[in-house]
Structure 1
């Protein structure tokens, strides 16, 4: 194909891809692309070999919309995707007419919204130091704030954003004074990701008046089914919190208060839920607060992926798309009534009992909840277990980071995880990765989880005696 629009083949292909993009945005067809490797490879090859940039851009847009993070990373074009895209975006921004060749910058920014949802694109954005570019564009294009919100879930991006105090001040002003309610929500969301104050929020005293049994966390696309779920739970006598009207004001604080006042969080999983920045912040806060998470599947053919897969781990979920609603509710009711064992995870482990500690003074200093560990606590723990290389490699990790790392090691793609560790060792430490230390780190975390499960079984037997 030639790189000019007058080429008939190029024009037809361009039009076909635009129609395909419209279909994937409006119809539930992602499962079809995810289950069909031939189509993935065909689109990948087209994006790799096409000479016309708009063809490549359309292919990248479709693939980023329908594929999971892991599937997208496995494609040959993944390594060049960020470089290709940011090159066009930067040239369009500096062009007098705000376009790259015939591609308007608005079209490129819309594509950025989809790409920014993928964790590996977030990391590539951080590696290429493109945050200053987005900050510069934010004055003229409000959609950039939504892109920055998605990117701000990445730890490195958070650090880069914090190094721009004038932009942080601008976010604070917009959060308070903007006439656009959606803009206030987005800026509150970015600030929430950048601040650590919400980690120190005091949990309100639970009373019969301010406590809910259940909070339903969902994407508004699934509102009808979630309303049915809510009604049935109310009939069963549960006190349920759900946002039907979309919260106003500081939505992040309102979300946090709802989670703090609820015992169980039902996560209604769907592709829209995974793509929602607000849902991601909500689910992460519930995890951080150690609320019991009960996942339910709301979208046919959808399989949890990306951050959502890491969050729910190996939890069983009720599939509302597979069973009749009445049957699915029966299954959910049973799940809500059972003692939660699988969801306790490593965060609830009494550290002093779960591991063999060499230094009693270090043991006594560690908070019993790993999510409360500071960077210093993590360093003490690693050094106590003679994980010298890990202590230097994970120098900026707190307890929450350690928990997410453990989930990534367990449920992520092994080869990609090992490659990332190896590259980080070379880049930051100038030495090869010690597989022995990495294995011992994972083993220690697994010991904690086994200790919890064993203790629960022992306690259960005592209670029955």
Structure 2
């Protein structure tokens, strides 16, 4: 135990001295697999419950050093935020942290456990966890205590590590409300000059209505923010300041809320976290090939990014939301998504992160909308499904020729102007279903709002569709329903919609009624 404890303590000390760049950690653990294996082995040690009884108030024995150092190491790992494999260990990690908190009498150990939980808990898990009410108040109290210390750390935990933990915690709505109730937003106002990360925490907290009122009542801080917004030296800081002021509805441009039926310059805006930039670029290029007019900020935006974001949303018909954990945790993405929702833009969600389930504010915005999972399907298949969703959203719109945008020196973004998608002005070229191609079948199904069936019947041409209708009419209804249900679950991971199935029967019946001689001669 003594040897392991000191080895881990030395490793943690090197990582701590590295700061943000972490070259020593990269030298010791050059691959993600090495980090994973080491993390898993330490977790196995910390899951050994008899160890908890040996934890002391101070680092006075090997067991306390081992647990304390391992937990600080865990914090380094989870705060790197690029370890997708952590999701596989979340349940074990969460249960272990809770068990240590319940058993420990060491504040440093408890603080590190809370820090790890901040990084791995979803919004819903934060609410359900028995200790969730303590997490926010514990962090706020420790921050207040450390801020008043000369060395700006508690035992072996620096204030910066604590701030990073609360930065993640502040993204959860329940924790925002806890902070509002405790009326401790002043802590972050006091420390933001020395620790600029506090501005990002304030931005996250400012999505809460009660926090907004508390911030507005602090006139000196509002004046300070307004002055900082006029100093463009640090673009990242300017973006954060603009974000806070945007949430407080200060410095807003006058924006009419009656423009939703006006002509738009773009068919689609892509809203995404820059961690998913590579995949989003592929999606963007495919949409451009299909003829859509797309807005996306590959080149980043300069000047007041909030006004630029608002302008982009106002000029777009549909917003594709590229969902991931990083998207949910991004203050900018949240502001973007909420503004699109507020302006009643059509929202098409897509899932880009493996095993991620939308929660918190993101789940509220997408509601019961169907989304395309780019992890479950090959890229070409996922794009076809996305095209199908976009067809439904855009078919009802009246498209006109693109309008040349006004010159805007504030915004620098990648934009392409192309005529609206050809599919939107094409229709079924033949009344004879037997002549229909797969694409024409898709258009016909989507034209009747049969969204699920359009995906299920993606490989059907007109002849296949006609034969399928015949089978559905002549076979046992329950047998057909069971077969379609099994096919839908296998292909789409969804139960078959009886409403769509009934509508399909109805529209096929109407089609046959209009052309009786054609069908009688070919079936």
TM-score normalised by L of structure 1: 0.69
How many Å separate the matches in 1 of 2:361 and 2:61?
A: 42
For the 8 Å contact 1:44–1:76, the answer to whether it is kept is no
For the 8 Å contact 2:272–2:323, the answer to whether it is kept is yes
Q: Helix, strand or coil: the match of 2:200? A: helix
For the 8 Å contact 2:118–2:166, the answer to whether it is kept is no
How many Å separate the matches in 1 of 2:224 and 2:185?
A: 15
Picking from 341, 344, 368, the partner of 1:287 is 341
Which runs of structure 2 are paired with 1:270-349 in the superposition (5 Å)?
270-339=324-393
Comparing 309-318 and 39-48, the one that deviates more: 39-48
How many Å separate the matches in 2 of 1:205 and 1:121?
A: 34
How many Å separate the matches in 2 of 1:42 and 1:92?
A: 26
Q: Which residue of 2 aligns with 1:126?
A: 180
Q: Which residue of 2 aligns with 1:231?
A: 285
Q: Aligned in 2, Cα 1:75/1:206: closer, same or farther, shift over 3 Å? A: closer
How many Å separate the matches in 1 of 2:231 and 2:253?
A: 25
How many Å separate the matches in 2 of 1:237 and 1:316?
A: 23
Q: CA deviation at 1:26?
A: 2.8
Q: Helix, strand or coil: the match of 1:176? A: coil
For the 8 Å contact 2:253–2:307, the answer to whether it is kept is no
Q: Helix, strand or coil: the match of 2:377? A: coil
Q: Which residue of 2 aligns with 1:109?
A: 163
- Deviation digits for residues 318-359 of structure 1, max 9, x if unmatched? 000000000000000000011589xxxxxxxxxxxxxxxxxx
How many Å separate the matches in 2 of 1:297 and 1:85?
A: 32
Comparing 290-299 and 81-90, the one that deviates more: 81-90
How many Å separate the matches in 2 of 1:158 and 1:324?
A: 43
How many Å separate the matches in 2 of 1:205 and 1:44?
A: 48
Q: Helix, strand or coil: the match of 2:183? A: coil
How many Å separate the matches in 1 of 2:321 and 2:255?
A: 22
Q: Which residue of 1 aligns with 2:83?
A: 27
- Deviation digits for residues 165-219 of structure 1, max 9, x if unmatched? 11111111111115211110000000000017759513679887x6100000000
How many Å separate the matches in 1 of 2:220 and 2:326?
A: 33
Is 1:262 the equivalent of 2:287? no
Is 1:164 the equivalent of 2:223? no
Q: CA deviation at 1:106?
A: 2.1
Q: Which residue of 2 aligns with 1:6?
A: 60
- Deviation digits for residues 23-68 of structure 1, max 9, x if unmatched? 333301353245x3x5422221212322222221221122111121
For the 8 Å contact 1:3–1:52, the answer to whether it is kept is yes
Q: Aligned in 2, Cα 1:279/1:339: closer, same or farther, shift over 3 Å? A: closer
Which runs of structure 2 are paired with 1:35-54 in the superposition (5 Å)?
36=91, 38-54=92-108
Structure 2 residue ranges without an equivalent (≥5): 1-54, 396-498, 515-523
Q: Helix, strand or coil: the match of 2:319? A: strand
Q: Aligned in 2, Cα 1:235/1:207: closer, same or farther, shift over 3 Å? A: farther
Q: Aligned in 2, Cα 1:339/1:229: closer, same or farther, shift over 3 Å? A: closer
Picking from 147, 150, 169, the partner of 2:204 is 150
Q: Helix, strand or coil: the match of 2:322? A: strand
Q: Helix, strand or coil: the match of 2:145? A: helix
Q: Aligned in 2, Cα 1:30/1:305: closer, same or farther, shift over 3 Å? A: farther
- Deviation digits for residues 276-325 of structure 1, max 9, x if unmatched? 00000000000000000000000111110111011100100000000000
Q: CA deviation at 1:121?
A: 1.1
The structure whose Rg is larger is: 2
How many Å separate the matches in 1 of 2:285 and 2:245?
A: 34
When the two structures are aligned, how many residues end up with a matched partner?
A: 344
Q: Helix, strand or coil: the match of 1:301? A: coil
Comparing 78-87 and 47-56, the one that deviates more: 47-56
Q: Which residue of 2 aligns with 1:68?
A: 122
For the 8 Å contact 1:269–1:297, the answer to whether it is kept is yes
